[in-house]
Every structure is written in C-alpha cells, then in structure tokens.
Amino acid sequence: METTPARATHPPGTCKPDPSTHPRPDGEDRYTISEVVAVTGLTAHTLRWYERIGLMSDVSRSHTGQRCYTNRDLDWLALVAKLRLTGMPVADMVRYAELVRLGEETFDERRQLLESTRRDVLNRMAELQDTLAVLDYKIDIYAGVRTAQERA
C-alpha cells in the first residue's frame, strides 16, 4: 500500500542526503513523497493531485525526476490542511496559491480572502455551538430515560 506511513529507505543521491530521525530537521532539507505522506497523513495520490491542480506549485525534482519536498512545501501543506478543515473549497485554495505565486501585489487580496475565511470559521463555530446545545438536550433526554429504567 502506498499510504503506509513507512520509514522510507534513502538511496544516496536520489533525494535526501541526510537520513534524519524526525520529520523536519530544518535547514535545507528535502523529503521524498513517502515522507511527506508520513508527515501530513495525505496520500501520495493526493499530493500529486494537489500539484496537478495547482495547489502545490514548483515542487522540485531529483535528478531522476522524483519529487523533492522542502520545509517550505510542508509549511504550505500545513496551511492547506488548516484551510481544508474550515471547509474552504479546493478551488479557493488554488486561487490563494495563485495569489501567492503572483507576489506582493496580491497581499491585499490574500488578506481579504483570509478574513472572509475567518468569518466563515466564526460562523461555523457558532453553528456547532448551537448543534452542541441540541445534542446535549437530546442526550439528556436519553440519559434520563435510562436512569428512569434503572430505577424501575
């Protein structure tokens, strides 16, 4: 299986010269796709797909054509993961990635995008708070029924 979070072996010269112990030892380190899988929990399929759709730009390659992810890439993936769980559509994240590629000109648009996402997050949290109240109400009812049954 490709999704196995394996300890990848590192043939010298392919991608990673330093077989470090922890993810992200820092410096100018490079990761194979399987290491990124292990760190992020994404599948290799998904990582390649992210690249194809423009959500990961410019992943560098080893001399044999294999992907070499950097710490910057991992940072980006971490941000993407956060944005994902706000429910932001992938297309919007691609747009954001595009803005990043376009450079400083787009700082304002990026900030607006993040602020709108921030509002979404707050809304969603409020909705969840509401839902929590409903759940607690229902759970209380069921718990009450059970204790009533136990008393009987």
Distance between CA 146 and CA 134 in Å, rounded? Answer: 19
The region of 27-35, 103-111, 134-142, 143-151 touching DNA under the rule CB under 7 A is 27-35
Distance between CA 93 and CA 83 in Å, rounded? Answer: 8
Under the binding rule (CB under 8 A), the answer on residue 110 touching its own copies is yes
The tokens of 140 are what? Answer: 């209380």
136 binds, among DNA, its own copies, none (CB under 5 to 8 A by kind): its own copies
Hey, which residues between 59 and 98 contact DNA (CB under 7 A)?
63-67, 84, 89-91
Report how far apart, in Å, the C-alpha atoms of 124 and of each of 85, 127, 138 are.
11, 5, 21
Residue type, 54: G
Distance between CA 98 and CA 95 in Å, rounded? Answer: 5
Question: What values do phi and psi take at 38, rounded to 5?
Answer: -65, -40
129 binds, among its own copies, DNA, none (CB under 5 to 8 A by kind): its own copies
Which chain residues interact with DNA by CB under 7 A? 2-4, 6-9, 11-14, 32-35, 43-46, 48-49, 52, 63-67, 84, 89-91
Residue numbers at the binding site for its own copies (CB under 8 A): 79, 82-83, 85-86, 104, 107-108, 110-111, 114-115, 117-118, 121-122, 124-125, 127-132, 134-136, 138-139, 142-143, 145-146
